C-alpha cells in the first residue's frame, strides 16, 4: 500500500508539472538530466504537496551521517537573547535527527574574539558538512566562512549578515527597516524640537547590525523633516557600572534628552539606569523579548520592544541546511523575519 501511495504521489507531481514520472524521479533522487527551470517547478510542487518520498528509508539504508555545526554566542549574565535561537536549533534537530542528521552546537563569548576563533577552529577540524552561525565578529566571521567556502561547506547566517559572502542564505531582520520602525515609534512622545540619544551597547560596535539599524533610524527623521538633534553614544564595556558611568556623563552634558533608542537587546541596562536615576520622563525603545526587558516593559520604563522572532531564525537556519544537504532542494537566499512591536499591553500574548 505504501508503494502505491508513493507512486500516486509521484504521478500527481508529474501531472501538475506536466512532465514524465521519470523526470520527477530524477529530481527526487537528485540525478542529472533535468533543466533548472523544470527542476525548480517540480520542487515547488513537492513542497506544496508536502511530499516526502521515503526519505527516512533511503537515509537509513545509506547509513550516511550528515553532521551540522552551530556557532552562536553563549547565554551570559549580560543577556539571555541566545536562549531563543538555541531553542529553535533544538526544535529543528529533533525533527531531522531521524534522517541521519547530527547537530553539534559550539558557543563563543560575545566579549571575546578569541573564543570565536577557537570554536571556529574546532568546527573546521571536525569535518562538518554544514554550518549555521551568527557572524557577531565581522572580520573573524569573514575569515571563518571563507575557510568554509574553501572546504565546500555550506553555511547560513542568522540574526546578522555579512554582505559579499557566498552564504547559503541569511535568515534575520531587515536591519535598516527595523531601525526605521524604531524611529517611528520613538516620535510619539517627542516635542517639536527634540533631542534623541542612540545607544550602542556592545564590545563589537562595528558589528554589521548597529550601523544598519542606526542608518534606518536616522533616515526616518530625515525623510519626515523632523527638527532636532540625534546624539550617539557607543558603550563598549557592557557591564552595569560602565553603562551607568557613560549614561550619567551623556545625560549630564545633554540634560534635555527626551528619548533613547537602544540598538540591541541590552535595553534593560538603560531602563535600570533610568529607574535608579528617577528619569521616567525619558521614553525608551530597544530590542528583544527577554525576561529582563519584559520586566521593565511591564513597569512602563520601556515603551516598546522590537522583536525579530529569534527562535524561528534558529529553526529556519538549521532547516535550510537540511533542505539543501538531505533533500537537495533550493532555499531562498534571504528570508527577512517580521518586525514585531511589543508593548506592555500585548506582551503576555507574544510568542518569541
**Identical fold, 62-171+310-337 and 175-307:** yes
Say how far apart CA 49 and CA 59 lie, in whole Å.
21
Q: What is the pLDDT of residue 24?
A: 84
Query: What is the per-residue burial (b if ≥16 Cβ within 10 Å, else e) of 126-142?
Result: eebbbbbbbbbbeebbe
Tens digit of each residue's pLDDT (9 = 90 or more) over 13-67: 888 889 988 888 788 777 788 898 998 888 888 877 766 666 555 655 566 789 9
State which residues of the chain have pLDDT below 70.
1-9, 50-63, 78, 204-208
In the block, residue with C-alpha cell 553603562:
243
Is the CA virtual torsion 3, 5, 11, 16 positive or negative?
A: negative
Architecture in CATH for domain 175-307: 3-Layer(aba) Sandwich (3.40)
Write down the CATH superfamily of domain 62-171+310-337: Response regulator (3.40.50.2300)
Cell of residue 281, nine digits: 520622563
The answer to whether 26 touches 38, Cβ cutoff 8 Å, is no
Q: Which residues, in sequence order, are CB contacts of 138 under 8 Å at separation 6+? A: 162, 204, 206, 207, 208
Alpha-carbon Rg of the chain, whole angstroms? 24
Which CA distances in Å does 264 have to 83, 194, 311?
Answer: 15, 22, 16
Architecture in CATH for domain 2-53: Orthogonal Bundle (1.10)
Q: DSSP alpha helices (H): ranges in the chain?
A: 2-17, 21-28, 36-49, 55-62, 83-96, 113-125, 138-150, 175-186, 209-223, 240-253, 267-276, 291-299, 310-325
The residue extents of the domains of the chain are: 2-53, 62-171+310-337, 175-307
Amino acid at each position: 500500500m505504501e508503494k502505491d501511495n508513493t507512486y500516486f504521489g509521484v504521478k500527481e507531481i508529474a501531472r501538475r508539472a506536466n512532465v514524465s514520472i521519470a523526470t520527477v524521479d530524477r529530481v527526487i533522487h537528485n540525478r542529472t538530466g533535468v533543466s533548472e527551470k523544470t527542476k525548480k517547478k517540480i520542487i515547488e510542487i513537492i513542497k506544496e504537496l508536502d511530499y516526502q518520498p521515503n526519505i527516512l528509508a533511503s537515509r537509513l539504508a545509506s547509513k550516511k551521517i550528515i553532521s551540522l555545526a552551530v556557532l552562536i554566542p553563549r547565554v551570559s549574565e549580560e543577556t539571555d537573547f541566545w536562549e531563543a535561537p538555541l531553542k529553535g536549533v533544538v526544535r529543528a534537530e529533533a525533527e531531522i535527527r531521524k534522517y541521519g542528521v547530527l547537530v553539534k552546537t559550539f558557543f563563543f563569548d560575545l566579549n571575546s574574539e578569541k573564543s570565536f576563533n577557537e570554536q571556529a577552529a574546532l568546527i573546521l577540524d571536525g569535518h562538518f558538512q554544514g554550518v549555521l552561525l551568527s557572524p557577531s565578529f565581522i572580520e573573524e566571521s569573514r575569515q571563518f566562512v571563507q575557510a568554509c567556502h574553501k572546504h565546500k561547506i555550506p553555511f547560513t547566517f542568522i540574526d546578522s549578515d555579512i554582505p559579499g559572502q557566498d552564504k547559503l542564505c541569511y535568515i534575520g531582520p531587515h536591519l535598516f527597516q527595523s531601525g526605521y520602525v524604531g524611529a517611528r515609534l520613538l516620535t510619539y512622545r517627542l516635542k517639536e524640537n527634540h533631542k534623541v540619544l542612540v545607544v550602542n551597547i556592545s564590545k563589537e560596535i562595528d558589528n554589521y547590525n548597529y550601523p544598519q539599524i542606526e542608518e534606518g533610524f536616522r533616515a526616518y527623521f530625515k525623510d519626515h523633516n523632523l527638527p532636532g538633534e540625534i546624539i550617539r553614544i557607543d558603550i563598549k564595556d557592557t557591564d552595569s557600572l560602565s553603562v551607568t558611568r557613560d549614561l550619567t556623563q551623556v545625560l549630564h552634558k545633554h540634560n534635555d534628552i527626551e528619548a533613547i533608542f537602544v540598538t540591541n537587546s541590552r535595553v534593560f541596562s538603560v531602563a535600570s539606569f533610568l529607574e535608579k536615576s528617577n528619569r521616567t520622563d525619558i521614553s525608551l525603545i530597544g530590542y528583544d523579548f527577554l525576561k529582563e526587558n519584559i520586566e521593565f516593559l511591564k513597569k512602563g520604563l520601556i515603551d516598546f520592544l522590537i522583536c525579530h522572532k529569534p527562535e524561528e531564525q534558529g529553526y529556519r537556519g538549521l532547516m535550510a541546511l537540511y533542505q539543501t544537504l538531505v533533500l537537495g532542494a533550493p532555499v531562498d537566499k534571504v528570508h527577512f523575519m517580521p518586525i514585531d512591536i511589543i508593548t506592555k499591553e500585548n506582551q503576555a500574548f507574544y510568542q518569541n
